[in-house]
Amino acid sequence: MTWIRDKWDERKGRGLSVDATLLDEVQSDFQNIAVYNSKAFGKMLLLDGVINVTEFDEFAYHEMLVHVPLTVHPNPKKVLVIGGGDGGTVRELLKHYVEEIHVCEIDKEVVSIAKKHFPSLAQAFDDPKVTIFHEDGAKFIKNKQYDIILVDSSDPWGPAEALFTEEFYSTMHNALADNGIAVTQSEAMFYDKELIQKIQTFSKKIFPIVHYYYTMVPTYPSGSIGFSFCSKGPQHKAQKNVPNCTYYTKEIHDAAFILPKFM
């Protein structure tokens, strides 16, 4: 059995004891990247010891990150993904009639590992609409413009720390066209309420429409993960379902914005 740490601080910790085999491990310029094969969850991608993707439940994360903004934007043509080196977000974007997808993943080794071990996700990078940049996302978006920005980041430390700041959200606002939408990975409501409140507070000073919504991902801390929905234009109800989805429906879309009382 292998003990896999998922999240730890002075107050709480979580891990998984699984029957898993280490398939690959790389120390990049930014982080430790490891791939395990487990009987329970299939292949698992860990960044600095934290579960980032598993074959078992990745669809619940990627579908909700992508289809919530893409189904309410009136005409999304140009999309930026910050992070997203496993390819799952791009795979879901290609279910829509977008014209151009830029992926800004700071760590090229994540993309290489994903192509090697997660081809069902990373094969999306081969689509001619997709261009990959290995740069700092917080700097990359300056003086650019997109209809949609999706921040598919790891947790708020290390390479992703700058993506959880007021300065970055302001830069995203400037990089969005009229009616543009940004959706960012914004942690779990059971463990990270104070961080979510902080993000909501400063983002509401920047965007006219801001909401928090969530999805269920069993292998993530507390079994859920949330997103900040930040829009420059009116938010519309989802008008359609998306083909070939396992989690997303227009009904789930609406329900994801209904939060428990403590939130």
**CA 161 vs CA 2, 4, 144, 167, 253: distances in Å:** 28, 23, 21, 12, 28
Q: Which residues face 130 on adjacent strands?
A: 101
Per DSSP, 142 falls in state: T
The residue annotated as part of the active site, out of 57, 152, 155, 192, is 152
CA 51/CA 156 separation, integer angstroms: 14
C-alpha span between 263 and 212 (Å, rounded): 10
Residues 127 and 167: their CA atoms lie apart, in Å, by: 32
DSSP H helices in 135-192: 137-140, 166-175
Task: Name the residue among 101, 115, 96 with its Cα closest to residue 152.
Answer: 101
Any catalytic annotation for residue 192?
A: no
Residue 150's alpha-carbon distances to 86, 99, 154, in angstroms, are: 14, 16, 13
Decide: helix, strand or coil at residue 228: strand
Phi-psi label, residue 52: left if phi above 0, alpha if psi -120 to 50, beta otherwise: alpha
How buried is 216 (Cβ within 10 angstroms: 0-12 exposed, 13-18 middle, 19+ buried)? Answer: middle
145 backbone dihedrals φ, ψ, rounded to 5°: -140, 135
**Amino acid, single-letter form, for residue 226:** G
8 A C-beta contact, residue 25 and residue 32 = yes
Catalytic residues: 152
